[in-house]
């Protein structure tokens, strides 16, 4: 049970310094399943930061959120496959053709890489979707985009914990659900001044059926990151007993 729970936990390396990456990976590799590298870190160090993580035994979830015309996104597949990552994201708003062509391109070079579609960012609310000209509420829009991702043969989607129930009901257990915006009970109850709006606790997120939890600030900003990780794992494990 313990190893299975650890594999579900992805630490978001939302930091700016290579030294911070090295410190966190050295401390946490044996406690977590994967590390997320996003545009913030990648724009500063490029593929070298992924190499740093892998040399220390960590697996990498590259949250690239590729979003461009199909041919441009497709051309990234070869370089992505050479980085040794485990998962990569494209943005579902790029449409079916972009997703489908990218998935096929990645498979040509490395069939082990999971391609995931980012649906609606966890920072967005129904009101903000209206302001963007989207008439559907968040859950409806997430389901629509997830159906496009499934049609394009992506391996799963990234969504908030609030949509897990609807996604599992629609797609069953064979579609990966990666859930960011994980917060402690105390933090969820004090959501003011937090960019992440559609959040849930680690325990409730796993209970609902998430395959992976992406946790950033509660771990990387903790005085003792290892202790923070162990507390999250303990919370999830206790729920499974």
Q: Does some domain include residue 241?
A: no
Give the structural domain span for 149: 2-233
The catalytically annotated residue of 8, 36, 65, 139 is: 65
Q: Does some domain include residue 73?
A: yes
Q: List the single range of 89-98, 115-124, 179-188, 212-221 with lowest mean pLDDT.
A: 179-188
Q: Residue 192: pLDDT above 50?
A: no
Our CA dihedral for 201, 6, 228, 238, rounded to 10 degrees, sits at 60
Q: Does some domain include residue 123?
A: yes
Q: Does some domain include residue 16?
A: yes
- Average pLDDT over all residues of the chain: 90
Q: Does some domain include residue 239?
A: no
**What is the domain count for the chain?**
1
Kindly report the CATH number assigned to the domain that includes residue 107: 3.20.20.70
The tens digit of pLDDT for each residue in 74-104 reads 999 999 999 999 999 999 999 999 999 999 9
Pairing mode of beta strands 34-38, 9-12 = parallel
The contacts of residue 166 (CB under 8 Å, 6+ apart) are 139, 142, 143
Res. 190 pLDDT band, cuts 50 70 90: very low
Q: Residue 214: pLDDT above 90?
A: yes
List, in sequence order, the alpha helices (H) in the chain: 2-8, 18-28, 39-45, 47-55, 70-74, 77-81, 96-109, 126-131, 138-151, 164-171, 185-189, 202-208, 217-220, 225-240
More reliable by pLDDT, 201 or 15: 15
151 belongs to the catalytic site: no
Q: Does some domain include residue 206?
A: yes
The average pLDDT across 31-58 equals: 96
Q: Does some domain include residue 238?
A: no
């Amino acid at each position: 049970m313990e190893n299975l729970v650890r594999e579900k936990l992805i630490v978001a390396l939302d930091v700016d310094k290579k030294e911070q990456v090295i410190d966190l990976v050295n401390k946490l590799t044996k406690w977590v399943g994967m590390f997320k590298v996003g545009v913030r870190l990648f724009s500063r160090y490029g593929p070298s930061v992924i190499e740093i993580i892998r040399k220390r035994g960590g697996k990498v979830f590259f949250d690239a959120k590729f979003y461009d015309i199909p041919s441009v996104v497709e051309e990234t597949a070869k370089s992505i496959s050479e980085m040794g990552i485990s998962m990569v994201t494209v943005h579902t708003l790029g449409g079916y053709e972009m997703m489908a062509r990218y998935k096929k391109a990645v498979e040509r070079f490395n069939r082990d890489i999971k391609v995931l579609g980012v649906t609606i960012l966890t920072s967005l609310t129904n009101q903000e979707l209206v302001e963007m000209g989207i008439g559907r509420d968040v859950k409806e829009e997430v389901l629509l985009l997830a159906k496009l991702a499934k049609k394009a043969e992506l391996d799963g989607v990234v969504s908030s914990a609030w949509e897990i129930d609807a996604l599992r009901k629609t797609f069953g257990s064979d579609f990966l659900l990666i859930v960011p915006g994980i917060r402690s009970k105390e933090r969820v109850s004090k959501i003011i001044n937090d960019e992440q709006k559609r959040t849930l606790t680690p325990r409730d997120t796993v209970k609902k059926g998430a395959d992976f939890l992406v946790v950033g600030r509660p771990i990387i900003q903790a005085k003792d990151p290892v202790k923070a990780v162990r507390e999250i794992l303990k919370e999830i494990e206790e729920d499974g007993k």
